[in-house]
């Protein structure tokens, strides 16, 4: 089975690495001390249950991040000859209902529509990929919207 590829910007990669370091430090700090006893009189100790849940959550997130770091691809600007085509990392200016809108295409882990960052896996992101200035695309999700591509730029990296 093929592993999923995670697309990250340089900033996203650094944030992910930092989160992993922080989680490992937190797990070490939690397990370094004395853990609660499993039994409190004849009943299960609630503190022990919470402790185990916390450790399980930390371990699951650590495994998830390690998988991301094993299967990531850094988003880079394409060759100059291909910068007129929308790809990951492109900041796209579109016209929708006679209004200009701008967003950057990123991987799903870094998508945040409130910050103008949409995923390449979103309906609009998928539809924009591979298009050029002047193209019109139609996205139905749940209503039909026409996007007229007005500009494409890449951060030179």
pLDDT of residue 50: 87
Measured distance between the N- and C-terminal CA atoms of the chain, rounded to whole angstroms: 32
The per-residue pLDDT for range 124-142, each reduced to its tens digit, is: 999 999 999 999 999 998 8
Which CATH number does the domain 6-74 belong to among 1.10.287, 1.10.3470, 1.20.1070, 2.60.40? Answer: 1.10.287
Closest CA to 131 of 146, 155, 156, 152: 152
Domain boundaries of the chain, sorted by first residue: 6-74, 80-152
Q: Which two tokens stand for residue 96?
A: 């929708």
The per-residue pLDDT for range 79-100, each reduced to its tens digit, is: 999 999 999 999 999 999 999 9
Task: State the burial class of residue 85 (Cβ atoms within 10 Å of its Cβ: 0-12, 13-18, 19+).
Answer: middle
- Kindly report the CATH number that applies to the domain delimited by 80-152: 3.10.50.30
41: part of which helix (H) or strand (E)? Answer: none
Q: Which two tokens stand for residue 57?
A: 């959550």
The per-residue pLDDT for range 101-125, each reduced to its tens digit, is: 999 999 999 999 999 999 999 999 9
């Amino acid at each position: 089975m093929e592993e999923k590829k995670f697309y990250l910007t340089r900033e996203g990669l650094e944030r992910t690495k930092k989160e992993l370091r922080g989680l490992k430090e937190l797990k070490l700090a939690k397990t370094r001390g004395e853990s609660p006893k499993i039994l409190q009189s004849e009943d299960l100790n609630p503190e022990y249950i919470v402790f185990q849940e916390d450790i399980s959550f930390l371990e699951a997130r650590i495994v998830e991040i390690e998988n991301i770091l094993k299967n990531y691809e850094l988003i880079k600007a394409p060759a100059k000859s291909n910068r007129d085509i929308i790809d990951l990392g492109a900041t796209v200016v579109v016209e929708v209902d006679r209004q200009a809108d701008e967003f950057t295409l990123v991987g799903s882990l870094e998508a945040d529509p409130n910050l103008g960052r949409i995923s390449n896996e979103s309906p609009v992101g998928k539809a924009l990929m591979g298009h050029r200035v002047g193209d019109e695309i139609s996205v139905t999700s749940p209503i039909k919207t026409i996007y007229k591509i007005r500009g494409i730029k890449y951060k030179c990296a």
